[in-house]
Amino acid sequence: MSDNQNVRVRFAPSPTGKLHVGGARTAIYNWAFARATGGTFILRIDDTDPTRSTDENTQIILRAMRWLGLDWDEGPEVGGEYGPYWQTECLPIYREAAERLVAEGKAYYCFCTPEKLEADRKAAQERKDTFQGYQRTCRNIDPAEAQARVDAGEPYTIRIKVPDGRGDVIVHDAVHGDVTFNARELDDFIIFRSDGTPTYNFATVVDDARMGITHIIRGDDHLSNTPRQIMVYEALGAPTPVFAHISMILGTDGKKLSKRHGATSVEEYRDAGYLSDAFVNYLSLLGWAPDGESTVISRERLASEFSLDHVSKNPAIMDPKKLDFINGEYLHAMSDQEFADEVLIPELHSHDLEPAGECLHEAAWYDLLAAALKPRTTLGPQVVDQAAFLYEDDDELEYDEKSVKKWLAKAGAREALQAAGEALAALDEWTPAAIEAALDPLPEQLGMGKGKVFQPIRVAVVGSAASPGIGETLALAGKDHVLARIERAKELAL
């Protein structure tokens, strides 16, 4: 099949927990492939694990998908002609498919008890058989006898009948190339359990076949499942889709990504302040690249250029520093107003920060604060600490001990603060340019280096020696607050 001929792909998470990084990348690749080929992206909820699947987890997955911006064409909340899109609603469909295979002689009822299976396995070990799986004990039971035993209420499973003489199963994988499995090693595996529920390898194939899935893009931990699934496709008489098994994501220590490496669920990254576009950008590059250079990949470019032939089979490394860098690039590309509206104000409001004193927080003030903080920000919540000095009362501003020792508790600091206070008090216009113009002559007038003059002012107003430019910092703090803080700091200065 051509890569762009009626492409239909699906992302089928199991709602047994939150959507994690690996699943999110799988969803991104499926979405991007569908968009790049003009195909259809389907979201399906594989909730056949009754003990762990919950509606709450399903809602978490849907929220994460919406935050990622991965709109689906068919599935929950959207509908479609190939529903249901929850596996728990498809049990009659699976049952009908399994019974049809039995009727066609492609599957059979198995009455072996767990004890019988264990005894057969041990006997095969003692004989040192090369194959120690299911011994096909019930494979040749007369169909009428088998049906009579079922009708009598005898417990049973349904097993696929791997055709005699079936050669090697070759998975034609778009990432790994051809991968060969010995068909005899598959045994006649179970497709329906004794409790009346389908196995994963059966249910997922029935769904993929009835939904017309053409490409299955998923983690390479599913590669070992694929030969059994191919057997089911063949038994059903359904075309086998193109498989693309993408590599695992590892931590910087080379081990499988886990909680010890930091946040792992999508919503944890959202709550930490990462931008959706930046997060999708970063995850898309964990195993795929349109070229060898691009770091910032817009959502639009991803949706137009993604292809399976640029997906690497090597494990990807989740590097938090690179994620932070990319997030910073997206923040820095915002206009000051966008940064204020989408990052700064929501973060400040989420921490219930209110203006100190009479400082007016109007649109222009927020735009100035955005311009000052944006170049210094790689993660949204950082603005809270950076702007904290603006929300503290003048007499309660906390001083950083090291900054006080380095800049205030030094000879000349009091003189610098006195001169700065006088120059600033004389200003009629309180803008960054006017403030800098008033302070620029002071080092020469006092015979001091710029650091010895400006850093004590910064510590007095901010509480530490780190802040945006001196003009922007003082303009944001407001004239009355600056003068009051300079007077207070003079008590600590030498």
Model confidence pLDDT, tens digit, residues 440-486: 999 999 999 999 999 999 999 999 999 999 999 999 999 999 999 99
pLDDT score of 197 more than 80: yes
Say what the pLDDT of residue 458 is: 97
In this predicted model, what pLDDT tens digit does every residue of 102-142 receive, in sequence order? 999 999 999 999 999 999 889 988 888 877 789 899 999 99
Query: How sure is the predictor about 18, in pLDDT bands with cuts at 50, 70 and 90?
Result: very high
In this predicted model, what pLDDT tens digit does every residue of 389-400 receive, in sequence order? 999 999 999 999
Say what the pLDDT of residue 130 is: 72
pLDDT score of 65 more than 60: yes
Answer yes or no: 410 catalytic: no
Helix axes of 432-439 and 413-425: crossing angle, nearest 10 degrees: 130
CA–CA gap between residue 284 and residue 276 (Å, rounded):
12
Say what the pLDDT of residue 3 is: 45
Say what the pLDDT of residue 133 is: 83
Q: What is the mean pLDDT of the chain?
A: 93
**Which is higher by pLDDT, 107 or 4?**
107
User: Do the Cβ atoms of 247 and 39 come closer than 8 Å?
Assistant: no
- Residues forming a β-bridge with 216: 243
CA–CA gap between residue 365 and residue 335 (Å, rounded):
15
Say what the pLDDT of residue 238 is: 98
Least confident of 1-5, 21-25, 93-97: 1-5
Q: Which whole-number Å values give the CA distances from 350 to 64, 66, 170, 232, 343, in the listed order?
A: 20, 21, 54, 52, 11
Residue with tokens 């792992």: 264
Closest to 442 measured CA to CA, from 456, 463, 461? 456
CA–CA gap between residue 318 and residue 254 (Å, rounded):
9
User: Do the Cβ atoms of 324 and 379 come closer than 8 Å?
Assistant: yes
Residue tagged active-site, from 122, 255, 256, 259: 259
Residue 7 identity (one-letter amino acid) = V
pLDDT score of 331 more than 90: yes
Say what the pLDDT of residue 355 is: 56
pTM of the model: 0.91
Q: In this structure, what token pair is assigned to residue 331?
A: 């923040």
Mean pLDDT of 201-216: 98
Residue 265 identity (one-letter amino acid) = S
User: Do the Cβ atoms of 283 and 25 come closer than 8 Å?
Assistant: yes
CA–CA gap between residue 352 and residue 340 (Å, rounded):
16
- The three-state secondary structure class of 409 is coil
**Where do the DSSP E strands lie in 215-363?**
215-219, 242-246, 249-250, 316-317
Q: In this structure, what token pair is assigned to residue 313?
A: 């089979």
Mean pLDDT of 311-335: 96
- Residues forming a β-bridge with 9: 41
**Which is higher by pLDDT, 67 or 294?**
67
Residue with tokens 């057969």: 120
pLDDT score of 256 more than 90: no
Helix axes of 450-462 and 413-425: crossing angle, nearest 10 degrees: 70
Query: How sure is the predictor about 4, in pLDDT bands with cuts at 50, 70 and 90?
Result: very low
Closest to 206 measured CA to CA, from 93, 119, 289? 93
Closest to 472 measured CA to CA, from 375, 405, 397? 375
